[in-house]
Amino acid sequence: MANFNTHLNGAFAVSGTLSLVVYKAGLVNDPGFLMCVALGTVGGLLPDLDSDHSTPIKLGFNIAALVFAFGLVMHWRNELSLIALMALWLAGYGFMRYVVFRLFTRMTVHRGVIHSVPYMAILGLGLTCISYYGWHNTLTASWLYGLFLFGGAMVHLTLDEMYSVNLSGMTLKRSAGTAMKFYQHKDKGWYLLLYTLLALLIYAAPPFTAFWEQLRDPAPWAQLKVGVLPAFIEDILY
């Protein structure tokens, strides 16, 4: 399978390129452009959350533990003494970093249901719903955020499948077919839950037709023709 740097660089390259396209077309503003790049890059690391020793899961739980501990301290800052707050901070961090992390790693198997297309689709659609209904972003921005997160994850899964091919002997490694999964019979119960959640999110998602119509509108894409090439090259060609 591809390593951490390959996933990170691949997702960043793809999401950065596509973000520039939608930004140049005027579909997102400056913060939206940066958000699309960031979400696409993060999406490229998400499928490895089921790996006990992967960099994304360790980094993610470290950040989550710090945020959880900080939230506890902020909530109880007026009721507890300094010593008690310090103890609460350490207890909150330790609970997330060691107890919750250990439970999570025991419940998940690398390249299991998390490392699958429907799981990543749930994360993408979930982000779209949160962005539109919770953060009150525009319809276009909300769908693009979800699609970039999902797209980054697809880059990850594609790279893993590409690395499962032994090019020197043109043979498949044992890992072939374990990355880009839609279903596994041994986890049929989990996949039933995943597809149920996915159906509910599709039902609750913001209107896709209006977003699709905006993408089909030729006006935004006409802007891409302006300034695509440096001026001196356009002078030579035209």
**Range(s) of the domain holding residue 162:** 4-52+108-225
In a domain, 238, yes or no: no
Which residues does 46 contact at the CB level (< 8 Å), separation at least 6?
A: 56, 120, 123, 149, 152, 153, 156
As a whole number of angstroms, the distance between CA 144 and CA 167 comes to 35
Residue 204: in which H helix or E strand, if any?
Answer: helix 188-204
Mean pLDDT of 64-87: 85
Q: Is the pLDDT of residue 167 over 50?
A: no
In a domain, 102, yes or no: no
In a domain, 21, yes or no: yes
Please count the other Cβ atoms lying within 10 Å of the Cβ belonging to residue 67.
Answer: 13
* Structural domain count, the chain: 1
> What are phi and psi for residue 165, nearest 5 degrees?
-100, 125
At 182-232, the pLDDT tens digits run: 888 888 888 999 999 999 999 999 999 999 999 999 888 887 777 666 655
> For a pLDDT cut of 90, what percent of the chain falls above it?
42
In a domain, 209, yes or no: yes
As a whole number of angstroms, the distance between CA 14 and CA 38 comes to 11
